[in-house]
Structure 1
Amino acid sequence: MRHILVFAKTPHARTPYDQWLAGSGIVPVVVTPTEYAAGYAHLPHVHAFDDYDTNQLVDKTALRLAREFRVEAVFARAEADVLRAAQLRDLLDLPGQRTESALAFRDKVVMKDHLAGGPVEVPAYRRLDSAYDALEFVAEHGYPVVVKPVSESGSLGTAVIRDEAALDSYLARPWRGVSEIETFVPGQMYHVDGLVVGGEVVFVHPFRYLNDCLSFRDNDWVASLPVAPQDPAHDRLVKAARAVLAELPTPRGTAFHAEFWITPDDRLVFCEIASRTGGGMISPMVRHAFGIDLDKEWLYAECGLPGGVGADPLSAPPYRPAGELNIPPLNGVLEALPDPGTEPDCVLEAVHTGQAGQEFHGGVKSGLFLSGYVVGGETEEDVAARLEHVARWFSEHTRWRPAAQPSGGAS
């Protein structure tokens, strides 16, 4: 029996690794957060942990299991697992992404160091180790600037600083460790998602954001939909994504999720790239629109199994316009979600991560949502309108109440 170690930071319903590997002779050995353990409980080798992202017993257990089962490969689709998986491959000399590559896709400064001066424009940037670095950068480049952690995903911890008062407010907060500061880039943001197999890009497509990937900070929805091939931005974005992958130490088998701006003066500027599938409902959207399950195909590439992407372009499913919608929670207690089965007809798939009675404290990051939807339509413009319609429908059919105030406070 052959084995693969899987860092499974997703529910089984979304990533049924055992079903994907059925008939291959490969058995997944699963390491997962406690909240997802029940979904994988039917598998023979499942190990669950509290505080999964930062619990170093995850790493210790993964090493023990990898040696015990003599695993052939390591699979990790979540940003939190990219580096720990790469370090494990280094330690055991396993195929796949190694630490040098993981850092280039994970650390935003290392990433831009690879790309600076290359074919794709990169904003001015520097590593932010102290307040002095921020002051020097602002003195050189002026406002606005953006500060973000070097290795978080989903815009977590990102701050747009537009003036001296905002900088003072940022500097007054508790220090959160090494960050990056860069010049603010105005314009429309896009993401480009794809798959690399055998060192070749076998799928790539650009998508346009509706609202903004920082909308979650205002507890507002964020959505995206495919850029039509005839759109002038389509080929520019595909070319830019390929150029970025060529400049970085890209693994021979990986999914990727890149972000770019196109500015009001028509410059294409790099934002960042990750060696994983996109968050939110991006993977389900790609599955509905293109008939490709990026996570499944990436797993096959990691295991050295034949996949369906790129093998026979003539047999590819026809493209169907579809977009993804991510709705964050509000501040308060969720009283009721919309009744199942009452969604507008354009909804192709719905996922809810909360339930009535739960207390929430607003949006956390762009890839996390209370409710996510894949929405179909006849054209990309039709999909855009329907995404906004579903967002309004959700708001009208969801009920909240204020959270109870702690006793003993000032009156």
Structure 2
Amino acid sequence: MRHILVFVKTPHTKTPYDRWLAGTGVTPVIVTATEYAAGYAHLPHVHAFDAYDTNQLVEKTAMGLAREFAVEAVFARAEADVVRAAQLRELLGLPGQHTASALAFRDKVVMKDHLARGPVDVPAYRRLDSAYTALGFVAEHGYPVVIKPVSESGSLGAAIIRDEADLDAYLADPWRGNSEIEAFVPGQMYHVDGLVAGGEVVFVHPFRYLNDCLSFRDDDWVGNLPLAPQDPLYDRLVKAARAVLAELPTPPQTAFHAEFWITPDDRLVFCEIASRTGGGMISAMVRHAFGIDLDKEWLYAECGLPPTFGTPAYRPAGALCIPPRSGVLEELPEAGSGRPGCVREATLTGAVGQEFHGGVKSGLFLAGYVVDGDTEEDVTANLERVAGWFSDHTRWRPADSCGGTA
């Protein structure tokens, strides 16, 4: 029997590794966070940990399991697991992404160092190691600038510094550690998602953000919409993603999620890329729009199994992620309460009675939906319809109101 070690930071409903691998002769050995353990409890080899992202017993246990079961591969789809999985592969001589590649896709400064002299524009940037570096960068490049952690996802911790007051407020807060400062790039943001298998890009498609990646900070929704192949930006974005992958130490098997700006003067500028599937409802949207489950196909590629998808056939679909507000959730809409018929998939991550503190990052949401339509314009309108329907049928109360909190 063949075994693969899987670092798991998703519920079983989203990543049913055992079902995906049924009949292949490959058995998953699961290392997961405590909050997801129940969903995988029916499997024979499941090891769960509190404080999963930072608990170093995860690494110790993973190494022991990899040796015990003589695993042939290591799979990890979450940003928090990219480097730990790469280090384990390297230590045990297993195929796949190793540490230098993982850091190039995880550390935004290392990433841009690879790309700075390549064919795709990269904003001015610098590793932020002290307040003096920030002052020097602003003196050279002016405002606005962006400061963000080098290795977070979903715009977590990103700050737009527009003037001296913003900079003073940022510097007055406790030091955030390993960060990057870069020139602010105005414009519309797009993302390109795809799959590399056998060292070749076997699927790639560009998408447009509706609202933007920072909408969650205003408790506003963010949407994703595939570009139609005839869109004037389609080929430019695909070419840029391929160029970035060519400049980076891209592993032979990986999903990828890249982000680019198109500026008001029509420049295409690189933002960042990750060696994983996109967050939020992106994978679900790709499945509905193209008939490809990127997470499953990536897993198969890591296991050396043949792909299960044929030639992708595009059909209009879009994704919607709605963040929580601050307060206690008192009522959620039910599927039957007039939910628009365009909804093809829905995911709720919270429950009535639970207390929230607003949006945390763009990939984390209270409600996620995939919708369809006959055209891109239909899908855009349907995303707005579903967002309005959800808002109309959701009730909140302040956390300090009578009745207590969850």
Q: Do residues 330 (structure 1) and 325 (structure 2) align?
A: yes
Task: Tell me the residue number matched to 2:145.
Answer: 145
TM-score (norm 1): 0.97
Q: Pick which of 168-177 and 276-285 moved more.
A: 168-177
Match of 2:334 in 1: 339
What is the distance in 2 between the residues matched to 1:119 and 1:405? 56
Structure 1 CA distance for aligned equivalents of residues 275 and 334 of structure 2: 37
Q: How far apart, CA to CA, are the structure 2 residues paired with 1:23 and 1:245?
A: 33
**2:386 corresponds to:** 390
Provide the rounded CA distance (Å) in 2 between the counterparts of 1:169 and 1:392. 35
Alignment partner, residue 59 of structure 2: 59
Structure 1 gaps, min length 5:
407-411
Q: Which amino acid aligns with 2:247?
A: E
Q: Percent identity, aligned pairs only?
A: 82
CA distance in structure 1 between the partners assigned to 2:81 and 2:100 by the alignment = 15
Q: 2:110 matched to which residue of 1?
A: 110
Offset at residue 340 of structure 1 (A): 2.6
Tell me the TM-score normalized by structure 2.
0.98
Distance in 1 between the 2:49 and 2:92 partners?
Answer: 23
**CA–CA separation in structure 1 for the residues paired with 2:233 and 2:15:** 32
Residues 1:380 and 2:376 are matched in the alignment: yes
One-letter amino acid of the counterpart of residue 338, structure 1: P
Query: Which digits, 9 at most, give the CA deviation of each residue in 1:91-147, with x for residues without a partner?
Result: 000000000000000000000000002100000000001111000000000000000
Match of 1:360 among 348, 356, 361: 356
Task: Write the mapping of 1:41-80 to structure 2, written as runs, cut at 5 A.
Answer: 41-80=41-80
Matches of 1:131 and 1:211 in 2, distance apart?
32
Q: What aligned pairs does 1:25-44 form with structure 2 within 5 A after superposition?
A: 25-44=25-44
1:348 equivalent in structure 2: 344
SS, match of residue 4 in structure 2 = strand
Alignment of 1:2-13 (within 5 A): 2-13=2-13
**2 CA distance for matches of 1:405 and 1:140?**
49
Deviations 1:358-405 (A, max 9, x none): 000000000000000001011111111110111111100001011027
Residues in 2 aligned to 1:341 and 1:244: alpha-carbon distance in whole angstroms: 45
Cα deviation digits, residues 61-116 of structure 1 (max 9, x gap)? 10110011110000000000000000000100000000000000000000000000
Which consecutive residues of structure 2, in runs of 5 or more, have no partner in the other structure? Answer: none
Which residue matches 2:292?
292
CA distance in 1, matches of 2:396, 2:359: 15
SS at match of 1:177: coil
Please tell me the residue identity of whatever aligns with 1:335.
E
Residue 341 (structure 1) shift: 3.0
Query: What does 1:242-261 align with in structure 2 at a 5 Å threshold?
Result: 242-261=242-261
Opposite residue 14 of structure 2, the aligned amino acid is: R
* Displacement of 1:21: 0.4
Q: What does 1:112-131 align with in structure 2 at a 5 Å threshold?
A: 112-131=112-131
RMSD: 0.9
Q: Deviations over 1:127-180 (max 9, x none)?
A: 001111000000000000000000000000000000000000000111111100
User: What residue number does 1:187 align with?
Assistant: 187
Looking at structure 1, the residues matched to 2 and 39 of structure 2 have their Cα atoms a distance apart, in angstroms, of 22
Q: In the aligned structure 2, how far is the partner of 1:271 from the partner of 1:109?
A: 11
SS in 1 for 2:165: helix
SS at match of 1:324: strand
Q: Equivalents in 2 of 1:38, 1:65: separation in Å?
A: 20
Does 2:98 align with 1:98? yes
Whether 1:132 and 2:132 are equivalent positions in the alignment is yes
Distance across 2 between alignment mates of 1:405 and 1:172: 33
Query: What amino acid does structure 1 have at the position aligned with 2:138?
Result: V
Give CA deviations for 1:178-211 in whole Å, capped at 9, x if unaligned: 1000000000000000000000000000000000
User: 1:44 & 1:265 partners in 2: Cα distance?
Assistant: 56
What is the CA–CA distance in structure 2 between the aligned matches of 1:154 and 1:113, rounded to whole Å? 21
In structure 1, distance between residues paired with 2:389 and 2:179 = 38
* Secondary structure, counterpart of 2:377 in structure 1: helix
Give the superposition deviation at 1:308: 2.6
Paired amino acid for 1:52: Y
Q: Select which of 383, 398, 402 maps to 2:398.
A: 402
Looking at structure 2, the residues matched to 273 and 161 of structure 1 have their Cα atoms a distance apart, in angstroms, of 23
2: CA distance between counterparts of 1:34 and 1:340?
29
Q: Indicate the SS of the match to 2:347.
A: strand
SS in 1 for 2:233: helix
Tell me the distance in 1 between the aligned counterparts of 2:287 and 2:164. 45
> Cα distance 1:405–1:139, how it changes in 2: closer, same or farther (>3 A)?
farther
1:409 paired residue number: none
* 4+ residue runs over 6 A deviation: none
SS at match of 1:375: strand
Structure 1 CA distance for aligned equivalents of residues 336 and 278 of structure 2: 27
Alignment of 1:225-304 (within 5 A): 225-304=225-304
Amino acid aligned to 2:53: D
| Amino acid in the other structure paired with 2:346 | A
